[in-house]
Amino acid sequence: MADGDVHTYFEDGLWKNRLEGGTRASNTSPRRVDAVLAGRQLAKKRRVCHVVHTPQGEVEAERDYRRR
């Protein structure tokens, strides 16, 4: 994973998206599906990887949008 990759993760009762290397979430949602969709759109726009984590913090899925 590299700086700029988008991570969707669960923290403090909310699903969040954060750019790797960043300190703050770029957006939050109470619903996982909404956060995953927003994270995917952000990763596609930035042409980076999108990494989805489980509520426990494990990597559940990773998709690379750098080549598209």
pLDDT tens-digit map of 35-56: 999 999 999 999 999 999 999 9
Please state, in angstroms and rounded to a whole number, the distance separating the CA atoms of residues 68 and 65: 6
Q: What is the pLDDT of residue 40?
A: 98
Instruction: With a cut of 60, say whether residue 64 has pLDDT above it.
Output: yes
**Domain residue extents for the chain:** 5-50
Instruction: With a cut of 80, say whether residue 63 has pLDDT above it.
Output: yes
Please state, in angstroms and rounded to a whole number, the distance separating the CA atoms of residues 17 and 26: 6
Q: What percent of the chain has pLDDT over 90?
A: 91
Please state, in angstroms and rounded to a whole number, the distance separating the CA atoms of residues 68 and 55: 29
Instruction: With a cut of 80, say whether residue 3 has pLDDT above it.
Output: no
Q: What are phi and psi of 62, to 5 degrees?
A: -140, 130
